[in-house]
Amino acid sequence: MSSKILIVEDSSTTRAMITSAVEVIDDMEIFESKSGFEALKLLPHHCFNLIITDINMPDINGLELVSFVKGNPEYKHIPLIIITTEGSERDKEKGLSLGANEYLVKPFNPEELQKLVKKYLKKGDRL
């Protein structure tokens, strides 16, 4: 069974980079949303196995999304990785305290991201 992953990131380049990093993993179905709003709309329609979200976004920010996901009995089991930039220590900590499972600091190493994704999806490399 394929794993559904939701990427929430307003920068198209960063989004493409995250996607390119995770699509090498076996059997992935990737959903991209460029805002928190889009993510909120996608959430009820798919059973996501993992969410990767940026913090700094227009409309609702990543922390608000984390709080929404982790505060909702339907979604709170979904592992969540936040991607922050260096310097925003407090936001990162808040994200973790709200229930985010991991964080990654931009610019991230694609291998590191792959490792995290595999850890939460319990997947091996593509054969």
Partner 1 sequence: MTEPKIDLHEFLAEAEEIIGELTGNLLKLGEGIDAGQMEPDLLNSIFRAAHTLKGISGMFGFTEMAMLTHKMEDMFDSLRMGRLSLNHEIMNGLFEAIDLINEMLVTKGRGEEFGMDRVESIVARLEHPTGAPIAVVFGPAEDTDIDKGILNVLTEYEEHRLKENIKAGNAIFLIGAEFTLTVFDEGLVELTGYLKSAGEVIATLPSTGKDKDTLHFDILFGSHKDTAFVEDMLKGRNLAVKVVKEHFAPSGAGAGQAEVSIPSELRLEETTLRSVSNTVRVDIKKLDSIMNTVGELSQLKASISHIADKIRLEMGSAGPAIELSKTSRALEKRLKELQESMIEVRMVPVHQLFDKFTRVIRKFSRETGKEIELVTSGGDTELDKLIIEDLADPLMHIVRNAIDHGIETPAEREKRGKPRAGTINLMAYPKGNHVVIEVEDDGRGMSIEAIRKKAVESGLIDEASSHTISRQSILEFIFVPGFSTKDEVSEVSGRGVGMDVVKKNITNMSGTVDIDTEEGSGTRIILTLPITLAIIQALVTAAGAKRYAMPLAGVQEILNIKPSDIKTMERKEVYILRGRTIPVLRLEQFFKPAAASPHPPHGGGQGEEKAEMCGIVAGLADSMLCILVDNIISQQDVVIKSLGKLLKVAGIAGATDLGDMGTVLVVDVAGIITAAGRGMGERAA
Q: Does 99 bind partner 1 (CB under 8 A)?
A: no
Task: Sheet with 80-85: list strands edge to edge.
Answer: 28-33, 3-8, 50-54, 80-85, 102-106
Query: Does the footprint of partner 1 cover residue 82 (CB under 8 A)?
Result: no
The minimum distance between CB 106 and partner 1, in angstroms, equals 5
**Which residues make Cβ contacts (< 8 Å) with residue 97, sequence separation at least 6?**
none
Site membership for partner 1, residue 81 (CB under 8 A): no
Dist CA 58 CA 50 (whole Å): 22
Q: Are 83 and 102 in contact (CB under 8 A)?
A: no
Tell me: does residue 29 bind partner 1 (CB under 8 A): no
Residues that bind partner 1 (CB under 8 A): 10-14, 16-17, 20-21, 24, 36-37, 40-41, 44, 55-61, 63-68, 71-74, 85, 87-88, 90-91, 94, 97-98, 106-111, 114
